[in-house]
Structure formats: C-alpha cells, structure tokens
Structure 1
Amino acid sequence: MTELPDRLTFNLATVLTFGAFAALVLNAMFGPLAALTFMVCGLLLIVSNPHQSLDSLRRWWFVLLLPAYCMLTALWSQYPSNSLRYGVQLMFTAVVAVIITGRLSTATLMRMMFIVYGIGVLASILVGKTGAGGAWLGVFGSKNAFAAHIAVFVLIAVAVAADRNSHWVLRLAGIAGALASGPLLILAQSAGATLMVVPCLGIILLTLLTTRLPGTQKLFVLVMLGIVAAALVLLVIVAGDTLLAEVLEGSGKDPTLTGRTDLWATGLSYIAERPLQGLGYRSFWVVGFAPAEELWAMFDVPAGAGFNFHNTYISNAVEIGLIGLSMQIVLIYGGAILMAAYTFARPNAANALLLALQVLMILRSFIEVEVFFEFSIRSIMGIATFIYAAAGLLALRRQVAHTQRQTPKGLMSHARIPARPRSYPHANL
C-alpha cells in the first residue's frame, strides 16, 4: 500500500521536472509560454508532495539567502520594483531547484536532461537556420546560445553513453549524440565553447577511469590532477591575457572579445562607486537608465535587448555588490569543490556530469553571465549541484559513523545493524 504512492509520486516528479526543464532549455521554441510553463510545472512539483518539499526547504534553507538578499536590494535600488519583482522570481526558481534535489536522483536527472537537450539538437538539425555571419544558429536566437546548448549536450551525451546503469538504447543514443556534437560545435563557429568543453570532457572520462582503480591509485591520480590544475591556474595568472589574445587571433576572433574588455572596464568603474551593496538587483540594464542606454548604443544593441557585461563577477557585482557576489561564489565554487569530493568518493557517470557542468559554468563565467537569475536552467543546476554534493557527503559521513560504532560483543553476539541513513534520492547511486 505504501510502495505504489511513492512510485507514482516519483514518476510525477520526473514528468513535472521534465516539463520545467524543457520550457527553460527550449525557450526559443516555447516563446512567451516558456516562463509560464516553468512556473506551472514548478508549482505543481512543490504541491504534489508538500511534506517532502517542506523537508527539503528546511534542510537547505541557506541556499535561499541569495535570492532573499536580491529581494532586499530593493531597499536601496534605483529601480526597486525591478529588484523586488525579479528577486521574487529568482526565489521561486531557487525553491524549485531545492525541491528537485529531494525528488530526483542524479541518474534520473542526467537521463532526463539528455532527452531535453537532445530535442533541441534534433530540432536544430531538422529546422535550424544560419546566421548572418554563416554560423549555425539552430533553433536558438544566436550562435552563442546554440554553442552553449551543444557544449552542455556533448557532456551529457558522453556521460549517458558511459553509464553502465542506463539502458543500452539510451547509451547508443548517447554515443550518436556525442559524435554529432563535434560537427555542430564547428558549425556554431564558437572557439570559446570548443576550448571550454575539452577539459570538462576530460573530467568525465578521468572520473570513469578511476572506477577501475584501487584507492591508492585514485589518490595518486587526484594529486597529479591537482598539480596540473595548479600549474594551469598559475599559467593563466601570469600569461593568461597573452595566451587568450593569441588563441583568439589564431581562430580569427577579435582579441578584445568583440569589445567585452571595454564593457568590463565600465562595469568595474560602477563597482568602485558602490562596492558592497551594488546598484540593486536587475537595476542596471533598464530602459531609460542613461549608462545602459549609452552602452546599448555603443554596441549597436536595441535598448532593452537583455545585454550584459559578459562577465559573471563584474556583471553581478555591479547590481548586488561584493556581498551578493560572495554568496554566488560560495554556491559556484563550493558546489564544484563539494562535487569533486563526492565524485572522488562515489565515482559514477551522473556525479562526473554534474562536476563537469559546474566546471563548465566556472569557465564560462569569465566571458558570459549564466547565473544567477530567474528562470535559468544553469542557475537551477548550480544550486542543485551544491545540494546533491553536500547531501551525498553527509550521507557518506553518517554511514562511516554508523560503521565505526559497530562493536562485536563476542562470537555468539550479533553485530548491531547500523540505522539506515535518511533517504535522499541520489544517495543510492
């Protein structure tokens, strides 16, 4: 009697999450209905199991401090109605992200995302179009949006193809998707997306390789990767600008990233004026605000077209200051660190994918703005990755603690069976 409702609830959660993700990922196809579809599916997901929803929100309430702070900026924002309205929408998006982590396992989420992103790829192949510069746009509004979609899809496809627990049909589809992604990335003419996806693919492949290694060899691989990562960070700090300019020139791109360096300089000047609290959430790129109008005119962009500073840290610090930016950094980099630790302890395709996607977010954060704002799939995944990793590590810690407390009392005694840790979908992977 108790198993059937649970199974029905789990399936319902998967269907509703699929609808919510499809609306956001394929927003170019949904059009104005994308936000409405997401809100309806998200609301139904919350109320379909109120007890589980409240439990998830109670456990992970602190991730909601970021949207709460964004709402708070309405007190000093130059456009308070904007800050409050978009802050409320970001809060709803974050709540949905928290609820998803309590209802779906990471494996289910991975397979569902493969289908959602695969629909976008198939539609782009069948009815896609080419932009003015010859770059393939697919069914998306720009080549950057199409390239970002393909970059995420290739990571999901490789993870699904390598997942031993997935059905063989799904794994074959993953192989086909991974093979098709290469030519599509070339058609998108995005050197940045191509360069960034390579190390993320390496993370997935190395993670799956470590499943065949004993503990000492896994630790050795981890140490070597840490050394390589530290060397790359040092190289970027010392000669990053020179290397980036050479790569861009070699690929025929503008070394100034199509004027983004000028944008960054402008953004830094506004951060210097109000470093801690910022101008207010979503209160810079507003029609009628003179500095925004000047930048729109300078870059020949229609007013109100959703322009940004093309750097997550600069763009968000302008609006929510260093206080809000610090909260975002905790979620972004904390999620990557926690997921790296959890993936090392429990290496599997789903965990490797979440880690790779988080690293991709970090790499793109220096030239794009993907988080944190309302109705954003990347914002949802950033929050979800942090929670999945933290919950997984807590579950492992409880298991170790129970094991250590087992003390046999003699040959005829029975070892005490450890209590089953609190059930969390992904902890069973």
Structure 2
Amino acid sequence: MTRTARPADSHQGSIARPTYLEARPHRLVYFDGIWVAFVMTAMLFEQLLRSGTALVLVAAVPVYFIVRPDRLPKAGLAVGVLGLLPAFALLSAFWSAVPQTTLYYGTEYLITVLIGIVIGVAVNANQALIGLFFAFSAHAIASMLIGGYALVGRVGSSEVELAFIGIMASKNQAADASGLGMLIASAVAAFGIAQRRYFLGLCALVVLGIDIWMVVRADSTGALLAAVFAAFAMIAMQAGRVLTMQARTLLFVTITTTLTLAFALRTFWFDAVMGSILESAGKDATLTGRTFIWDQASRMIDANPAFGLGYNAFWNVGNPDAELIWKFAGIAEKRGFNFHNTAIEILVHLGYVGFTLFAAVAGALAMLLAIRVTRRPEAFGTFAVAYLFFMGIRTPVESYGFNPFSYATALIFAILSYALRSEHRRQAAKPR
C-alpha cells in the first residue's frame, strides 16, 4: 500500500520561509532614519556630550556600511568629487603654521564630510528628512526645557542684552540651528500633508512654532529672514510639481538669471539694504564687531594669499592675532569662534587656491542640484535647494561648511552630494 506524500513534504506544496539574510532588510527598514537622527543629534548636543560626540561620529560611517554594505558603491563618485575638499585641508599640513593641529582637525573634517556624503547618496532620502526632523525636534525641545540665556555685549560699547542660546555655545549658533530647524519642520509639514500623514504634519507645525520662538528670542533678524525666505522658496518649488517640465525649466532659468544679476550688481544695492535692515532691527553698523574681525583677516590674507595659514591653523591659543580677536569679542573660552564670513574663513586658512577649489566644487554641484530638483522636485531635494538659499543669505555674516563635527558642515555636504545621487530605476522583474 503506497503512502501519499503530504503537501508539507512535497516541494510544490511547501512554502519556503525567508532565510535570516533575506529577512534582514525588513528588520532594518527604518535604520537609515534612525542613523541620521543619531549622528545629527550627536552634533547638535555637542555642548552637552563633549567627547561623546566625537566617539559617535568616528564610529558612524563604519557602522552604517556594516549594516548596509550594498550602499557602499553609491558613495564612490561623491567621495571622489567632494573628497577633494577635506583632502586639500589635510594636504595643507605641509605648509601649516601648526601641522599637528591641521592634521587633527583635518581628520575630523574628513569624517564630517563622509557622514554628509552617506546622508546625501546612500541613505533613503525620505528617511533622511525624517531623521533630520527628529534630531532638530530633540534640539528644539531640549533648548526650550533646559536651555539658557547669556548676556551679549555690543562690541565697543557698554550696552548688553539678554539673548537666548538654548543648549548651544552662543546666540549665533542657537539662531542658526533654530533657523535650520524651521526649514526642516516646514519641509516635513509639507511632506506629511502630501503623504496624508497628518499626525506627522501636526508635530512638524508644533516644532516649527518652537523654532520660530527660539530664533526671535536669540535676537537674530538675519537667521529669521533667511529661514522665512528659504521656506517660501521651498513652498514655491513644491507647488511647481504641478507644472510641466517646460514651465519648471523656464521658472528655473528666470530665477537663476535674476539671482546672478543681483549678485553681480550687489555693490549698488547690498549696503543700502543691509543698512536698512540693521537700523530697523536696532543693530550697529559694524555687525556686532564683525568689521573689525574682517579687517584683521584681510591683513592675514595679504600676508599668505596663495595657500593661507593651513586648515584650522589660526584659532589656536597662543596665536597673538587670534588672542587679539578673542579679547576684542570677549570670548573667554577661546573655542568655537570663526570669522563670521565663509569666504574669509577659507581664504585665511587655505588661501586663494583653496578658495577656488571650494568655490568650483560647491558651485558646480549646487547648479547640478538645482537642475536635478527642477526635473524631479522631491521632498528632500526641494529642502536641499532651500537650504542652499538659506546659506547663500547667511554666508556673508557666518562661516559654513568649514568646521569639523558640525551639523551644518555635514548637512551642506549631504545636499551637495545629493546632486550626484544616482536616479532610481525600476528593474525588470526576474522570471521565477
């Protein structure tokens, strides 16, 4: 008498369970967003974590590619292009006034750039945006609950004012982080509404309100205006999704031409507009002492025009020029300071050769990013262009993309590398 095989015993009737390796991607579906939130939170909370931030960031890139080894090839092109900038910073150790310091901070700068590249080209774009939102939401809530105020003096005057600094080292850092938080919250609110994730959109609006309050309390008119203008630009790009490709291209060409002409003719309007803004905001014409700092920087640029002093070779205890600026600005800790101008910061440390390299790479990728977003106005892409707009307004009075272990540096390299992100292509279904 023959026995009939049970369905479970036959190959046709059995249902194969996925192996551990096959099921692994599903278990880690939210890993990208968690990773972005983790590294950005570590940078935002650097004042509280201190050396803990360095430990997190040094381990961040290896951990990501251990978990996502298939994403490693995607970073190749971006590392080859954007890696030129930290490579030149490290190379400056050969002529640096303090080679050991240049190598130390140049290595930190390289790690920060790599983190940005991972966010821009390897991480899922929507998860990257949500991860940024959680990090900046944690910063906003912590700043509101445990953040503090500081007495800020007007340089060259006995007047002082109470300004909100949150959990940052200065009111400028607090205003910049909160302004960026406004932009991220606006992007997530629009994303949540578009995706019908209304609770996420509501949370983003709440955080947006907190960030606006913090920027106002930090007494930074520039950060508030830059964030508002950038948010309007992002909303316009999101609204442009309903337009045809030809209409978006025409809009892009019009905006680009207008901005180019405005920049070329800035000598005719910039001083008048800036003076009006400063007067209405009750600010002094020296931009709180920045003009004195820029005069000192100009002298150092003239002394080392080609290659500069070397990466991070100026802000060192014992350097008489740095000591003079710290004393003038009342910086007791002698750390976390800069020239409050991105171009001047690069010129002092890396000279005209370094500045040309930075400007060429950043300018080319910014244009490529704008073209990409014009073709495909996705959520992260429109936010990226809006942040470029935010930085473009702020770079004359703040230093961006040059500081190691900085959330701003990592995010700048993330959005620039996003321009090199490979397009998602649908693969043909394989036969069973």
Q: Is the 8 A contact 2:108 2:404 kept in 1?
A: yes
Q: 1:362: how far off? A: 2.4
Rounded to whole Å, the distance in 2 between the matches of 1:75 and 1:102 is 32
Deviant stretches of 4+, over 6 Å? none
Q: 1:281 aligns with which of 301, 311, 323?
A: 311
Q: 1:223: how far off? A: 4.0
Q: Aligned AA for 1:162?
A: A
Percent identity among equivalent residues?
25
Unaligned 5+ segments in structure 2 are: 1-17, 152-160
Q: Is the 8 A contact 2:340 2:397 kept in 1?
A: yes
Q: Aligned AA for 2:251?
A: V
Q: Aligned AA for 1:334?
A: A
Report matched runs for 1:149-188 at 5 Å.
149-163=177-191, 164-165=194-195, 167-188=197-218
Rounded to whole Å, the distance in 2 between the matches of 1:269 and 1:344 is 42
Rounded to whole Å, the distance in 2 between the matches of 1:59 and 1:236 is 33
Q: Aligned AA for 2:38?
A: G
Rounded to whole Å, the distance in 2 between the matches of 1:370 and 1:227 is 24
Rounded to whole Å, the distance in 1 between the matches of 2:293 and 2:353 is 22
Q: Aligned AA for 2:166?
A: G
Q: Aligned AA for 1:126?
A: L
Q: 2:410 aligns with which of 347, 363, 380?
A: 380
Report matched runs for 1:219-230 at 5 Å.
219-230=249-260
Report matched runs for 1:5-404 at 5 Å.
5-9=24-28, 11-50=30-69, 52-53=71-72, 56-57=75-76, 60-132=79-151, 133-163=161-191, 164-165=194-195, 167-230=197-260, 232-234=262-264, 236-302=266-332, 304-392=334-422, 395=423
Unaligned 5+ segments in structure 1 are: 400-417, 421-429
Q: Is the 8 A contact 1:316 1:325 kept in 2?
A: yes
Q: Aligned AA for 2:135?
A: V
Rounded to whole Å, the distance in 2 between the matches of 1:252 and 1:45 is 47
Q: 1:59: how far off? A: 5.7
Q: Which has the higher contact order (CA 8 A, sep 6+)?
A: 2
Q: Secondary structure at the match of 1:135?
A: strand
Rounded to whole Å, the distance in 1 between the matches of 2:22 and 2:301 is 54
Q: Is the 8 A contact 2:241 2:377 kept in 1?
A: yes
Q: Is the 8 A contact 1:287 1:303 kept in 2?
A: no
Q: Is the 8 A contact 2:32 2:124 kept in 1?
A: no
Q: 1:322: how far off? A: 1.6
TM-score, normalising length: structure 1: 0.85
Rounded to whole Å, the distance in 2 between the matches of 1:15 and 1:91 is 22
For the pair shown, the structure with the greater C-alpha radius of gyration is 2
Rounded to whole Å, the distance in 2 between the matches of 1:214 and 1:303 is 54
Q: Aligned AA for 1:294?
A: L
Q: Secondary structure at the match of 1:257?
A: coil
Rounded to whole Å, the distance in 2 between the matches of 1:166 and 1:140 is 34
Rounded to whole Å, the distance in 2 between the matches of 1:280 and 1:227 is 36
Query: Residues 244 and 361 from structure 1, CA distance in 2 versus in 1: closer, same or farther, beyond 3 angstroms?
Result: same
Q: Is the 8 A contact 1:313 1:325 kept in 2?
A: yes
Q: CA RMSD in A?
A: 2.3
Rounded to whole Å, the distance in 1 between the matches of 2:82 and 2:416 is 9
Q: 1:110: how far off? A: 0.8
TM-score, normalising length: structure 2: 0.85
Q: Deviations over 1:292-327 (max 9, x none)?
A: 122222323236323221111111111111222222
Aligned length: 398
Q: 1:157: how far off? A: 1.0
Instruction: Name the residue aligned to 1:412.
Output: none
